[in-house]
Amino acid sequence: MPTFRLIRSKALGAARNMAVDELVYRRYLNEGIGVLRLYSWKNPSFTYGFSQKPDGVLNLAACAADGVEVAKRITGGGVLFHDDEITYSFACSKSDVGEPQGVFVDYRNICRFLIHFYESLGLRAAFALSGPDFRWQPAPHEICSAAHEKYDIVIAGKKIGGHAQKRNRQVIFQHGAIPLRINWTRAAKYFKVSSAGFSAYATTLTDELNEIPPRDVLEQKLIDAFSLAFKIEFIEEALIDDQAGMVA
């Protein structure tokens, strides 16, 4: 049974969070030990994909004026608003998560821990492609919440959260968000493109549950779901990079 490091980060700013995620990825390349990291955000923030130009989507001056951080991810995908959520990242090998050799990406297998997590809360979660009205052609969007992809997680037909990957040979790095609630009105203030209707086809735990469990309970359910899906044991520790002076 593989053993992963488990890192519970304190709340950090957007740039620091993304730097720590890159550190998780680089550490795996150097050491080959799987890592699962759980973290949160010091302030409302946006992240954007590594090949994306944020000034085409966001009003960066308004973000700066309001202290809303904007940071680049090492993964692809569209702009994502981060606020009241549980965010995770992990780095591991294909074999750690049971991805067959010769298969480039097996999202259904890799993301099944998210299905387990939502089911542990009594929610019926599924991949978007399983919906009766799903159109098989993916519909990417410059804003993550508006994208329509096969392996998005949906509850009652509405997308919840988002996830993205970076790969290097046999290494998988993935991070993603589990939104407790989203202030769409606040987020819309910073978009240059229309965000009208986002709340109609995206959802959060607040929208789906009568009462949200405490954060520590949710985090433990996510850890348990990951362990169940991939038969993983954890050793909890801090992540320290002496050169960067970084502690997560």
Structure tokens at 85: 């959520």
Q: Which of 35, 48, 37 is nearest to 12 (CA)?
A: 37
Cα–Cα distances in Å, from 21 out to 18, 25, 124, 156, 232?
5, 6, 30, 31, 20
Q: How far is CA 91 from CA 20, 96, 147, 168, 215, in A?
A: 12, 10, 24, 11, 23
Residue with tokens 């399983």: 130
Q: Which of 74, 55, 75 is nearest to 63 (CA)?
A: 55
Q: Tell me, yes or no, if 144 is annotated catalytic.
A: yes
Strands 158-160 and 171-181: what pairing? unpaired
Which residue, among 116, 124, 92, 97, has the nearest Cα to 223 in the 3D structure? 116
- Of 63, 92, 111, 144, catalytic: 144
* Whole-number Å distance between alpha carbons of 227 and 73: 26
Residues annotated as part of the active site: 144
